[in-house]
Amino acid sequence: TCPQCHRSASLDQRGLRGFQRNRLLEAIVQRYQQGRAAAAAAAKCQLCDRSPPEPAAVLCEQCEVLYCAACQLRCHPARGPFAKHRLAPPPAHPGAPGGGGDGGGGKGAGGGRKLPTCAEHDLENYSMYCVSCRSPVCYQCLEEGKHNKHDVKALGAMWKQHKAQLSQALNGVSDKAKEAKEFLVQLKNLLQQIQENGLDYEACLVAQCDALVDALTRQKAKLLTKVTKEREHKLKVVWDQINHCTLKLRQSTGLMEYCLEVIKENDPSGFLQISDALIKRVQVSQEQWVKGALEPKVSAEFDLTLDSEPLLQSIHQLDFIQMKFPVSVPPVPLLQLEKCCTRNNSVTLAWRMPPLSHNPVEGYILELDDGDGGQFREVYVGKETLCTIDGLHFNSTYNARVKAFNSSGVGPYSKTVILQTSDVAWFTFDPSSAHRDIVLSNDNQTATCNSYDDRVVLGTAAFSKGVHYWELHVDRYDNHPDPAFGIARINVVKDMMLGKDDKAWAMYVDNNRSWFMHCNSHTNRTEGGVSKGATVGVLLDLNKHNLTFYINGQQQGPPAFENIEGVFMPALSLNRNVQVNLQSSPTCP
């Protein structure tokens, strides 16, 4: 069985010569041998005074001169004006076999080599390729009928096809090889980082253990001071008691000796003259030795017990919280630009940590400017790597950046990405904030009501900057109701006509006239009403801070309201006699 093509073959009378020859390997061997011959016929040094000249070691591309090693050191040192010259290996000798190459001017498929002949028919060249047998064949092989029912194709076409397949496969291998080289560079850098971090960790560990020893030494000194004070206190108490007892004992001993001398006297009258006073003195002396007077006030034992067991346990349990100790701040996050996008007045950003990042990450801080080149502010803090920020200005350019943090601190910022919000707003009616009597359909673009009373519904977009225009097409209009069109804040009252409170600015209209209304104040009565098929336009210009209304393309009086500032949402109030359809971004009149 062939180890390369994995096909089995039987030996015939030709022996090993009956096997199919690997012509590709033969050609590679031939080119290799030609290359070795060319290397043997190396160019000679052009400055040697020896005969014959030494083989050239380098070629100066600027001087265009070949040097041997000795002449290069002597005539072309790597300093001064020669320092910037580029030295390259010498080329193969032009006259050497293979020196001129075999790819540009060779004849035929082999570049000058003899075309291979069929193994079965020595006089025939290969011209076709049998796909079933996976081998080249000649015309005579086909005429003999060995490959009648096989899929046979032109040799040149299959050659090009297989070359293309091999090149495509090589591209994948090349990409993997490139990744492997980059990975090896990372691993080598990792070796250096491990070496450096290991030394840093050892120094940090020694410093922390030395700090523990210093703290224990300081605490030892404090405890010794307490023991010294306790000892000195006990000694003072005992010495005071010794001095006091010695004085009293001296007094009692003197009194006893005096009394014994008095008792020896034989003069009754003289004895009785002083006996009463002497008895009182003896009794007073006896009373001085009260209970406890002959007991030590302090003990020889020290009532100080050092509780070292918890500390010993802590020392025995002293270990690293994590293997990576100490922890450094996280590296720079990488923004995934292919996942960053904008929609309406929302931006979505995505990021990831670089590969081979060993420092833990506890969270990320995403910062965004104000859309006008102002200061950055935090808009997200958390562990996710994908974040959408809503409620931004339309037609504005925002700068965003992100950084990671952990217990050691905050890492550096990523590169800044620039995101442009939409020029115009695409929105629908908002079912989540609408009054419960509002009925929405047509993907929330059509609104009506179940009640005869006016109910409010808002749009899904909020505006605080720029110029915005939208239209509402009246699909149904029965019994002359008064729908109101305009803008409102998010906390507008939704169970009465739009414009009756101070949170909405509106135009309400019947079949003949229209009025502007805010805070239940009616102004600017204008002729021209609505009917089925009419179109009401609302133009909110937050650059000029005014609001303008249109009916069927005609402006209803001057701008309805001036000095409008803040955040506003498209708004509508209607009852069951009206149905309208929203067009969020038509052409402005």
Candidate from 11-25, 291-305, 308-322, 362-376 with smallest mean pLDDT: 11-25
Q: How far apart are CA 248 and CA 289, in angstroms?
A: 9
Q: Provide the pLDDT for residue 99.
A: 43
Give the mean pLDDT of the chain.
85
pLDDT, tens only, 331-342: 999 999 998 999
Q: Provide the pLDDT for residue 104.
A: 41
The pLDDT of 147-166, averaged and rounded, is 84
Q: Provide the pLDDT for residue 98.
A: 40
Q: Which of 580, 579, 583, 343 is nearest to 470 (CA)?
A: 583
Residue 100 has pLDDT above 50, yes or no: no
The pLDDT of 193-217, averaged and rounded, is 88
Q: Provide the pLDDT for residue 48.
A: 87
Residue 292: band (very low, low, confident or very high) from pLDDT cuts 50, 70, 90: low
Output 133 or 293, whichever has higher pLDDT.
133
Which residues does 210 contact at the CB level (< 8 Å), separation at least 6?
none
Most confident of 10-19, 21-30, 70-79: 70-79
The pLDDT of 347-371, averaged and rounded, is 88
Q: Provide the pLDDT for residue 110.
A: 42
Output 266 or 357, whichever has higher pLDDT.
266
Residue 96 has pLDDT above 50, yes or no: no
Q: What is the pTM of this model?
A: 0.41
Phi and psi dihedrals of 369, rounded to 5? Answer: -85, -175
Percent share of the chain, pLDDT over 90: 33
* Peptide bond between residue 326 and the one before it cis (omega within 30 degrees of 0): yes
Residue 497 has pLDDT above 80, yes or no: yes
Give the start-end residues of each E strand in 68-137.
87-88, 128-130, 135-137
Residue 488 has pLDDT above 60, yes or no: yes
Residue 378 has pLDDT above 80, yes or no: yes
398, two tokens: 């925002």
Output 170 or 380, whichever has higher pLDDT.
380
pLDDT, tens only, 504-521: 999 999 999 999 999 999
pLDDT, tens only, 422-477: 887 889 999 999 999 999 999 999 999 999 999 999 998 888 888 899 999 999 99
The pLDDT of 314-339, averaged and rounded, is 79
Beta bridge pairs of residue 571 = 458, 486
DSSP output for 243-298: HHHHHHHHHHHHHHHHHHHHHH---HHHHHHHHHHHHHHHHHHHHHS-TTTTS-SS
530, two tokens: 């609505």
Which residues does 587 contact at the CB level (< 8 Å), separation at least 6?
none
Q: How far apart are CA 22 and CA 87, in angstroms?
A: 40
Residue 94 has pLDDT above 60, yes or no: no
Candidate from 91-95, 419-423, 502-506 with smallest mean pLDDT: 91-95
Q: Provide the pLDDT for residue 108.
A: 41
Residue 327: band (very low, low, confident or very high) from pLDDT cuts 50, 70, 90: low
Query: Which residue, chain included where needed, has tokens 């005609």?
Result: 554
Residue type, 340: C
Reduce the DSSP state of residue 32 to 3 states and report it. helix
Candidate from 300-309, 382-391, 521-530 with smallest mean pLDDT: 300-309
Q: Provide the pLDDT for residue 136.
A: 86
Query: Which residue, chain included where needed, has tokens 């011209």?
Result: 127
Residue 343: band (very low, low, confident or very high) from pLDDT cuts 50, 70, 90: confident
Question: Hey, what long-range contacts does 124-129 have (CB within 8 A, 24 or more apart)?
Answer: 126/155, 127/154, 127/155, 128/152, 128/153, 128/154, 128/155, 129/153, 129/154, 129/155, 129/158, 129/159
Residue 39: band (very low, low, confident or very high) from pLDDT cuts 50, 70, 90: low
